Amino acid sequence: MSNQTSADLSSLSATVVNVAVPSGARSEDAATRDSEKNILTANQIRKSYHIGGEPRCVLNGVNFYADADECVFLSGPSGSGKSTLLSIMGCLLECDSGEISIAGQRVDQLSVSKRTRVRRQSIGFVFQRFQLIRGLSAEDNVAVPLTLQGMSLAEAREKAGELLGRVGLSLHRRQLPTAMSPGQCQRVALARAVITKPKLLLADEPTAALDGKSGAEVMELMKELVAETGSASVIVTHDPRILKYADRICEIENGQFK
Ligand SMILES: Nc1ncnc2c1ncn2[C@@H]1O[C@H](COP(=O)(O)OP(=O)(O)OP(=O)(O)O)[C@@H](O)[C@H]1O
Ligand SMILES: [Mg+2]
pLDDT digits (tens, 9 = 90+) for 4-62: 333 343 444 433 333 445 555 554 455 566 778 999 999 999 999 998 889 999 999 99
Q: Are 88 and 101 in contact (CB under 8 A)?
A: no
Query: What's the 150 CA to ligand 2 centre distance in angstroms?
Result: 32
Q: What is the pLDDT of residue 35?
A: 78
Distance between CA atoms of residues 49 and 57, nearest Å: 7
The pick from 5, 51, 58 for probing ligand 1's pocket by mutation, whose C-beta has the most ligand atoms within 8 angstroms, reads: 58
H or E element that contains 157:
helix 153-166
Averaged over 77-91, what is the pLDDT?
95
Quick one: which of 27, 52, 53, 54 has its CA closest to 41? 27
Q: What is the pLDDT of residue 2?
A: 39
Which residue lies with its CA nearest to atom 7 of ligand 1? 49
Indicate if the alpha-carbon torsion angle 256, 22, 74, 39 is positive or negative.
Answer: positive
The pick from 8, 84, 253 for probing ligand 1's pocket by mutation, whose C-beta has the most ligand atoms within 8 angstroms, reads: 84
Can you list the pairs that 107-116 forms with residues at least 24 positions away whose Cβ atoms lie under 8 Å? Answer: 115/91, 116/91
Summary mean pLDDT of the chain = 89
> Which residues sit with their C-beta closer than 6 Å to ligand 1?
49, 51, 58, 76, 78-84
Q: What is the pLDDT of residue 21?
A: 57
Averaged over 82-109, what is the pLDDT?
96
How many helices (H) and strands (E) in the chain? 7, 10
Averaged over 67-83, what is the pLDDT?
96
| pLDDT tens digit sequence for 123-148 | 999 999 999 999 999 999 999 999 99
Beta-bridged to residue 252, according to DSSP, are 257
Q: What is the pLDDT of residue 258?
A: 85
For residue 240, pLDDT beyond 50: yes
The structural domains of the chain, ordered by start, are 3-29+37-257 (3.40.50.300)
Q: How many other CB atoms sit within 10 Å of the CB of residue 49?
A: 12
Q: What is the pLDDT of residue 85?
A: 97
Q: What is the pLDDT of residue 7?
A: 39
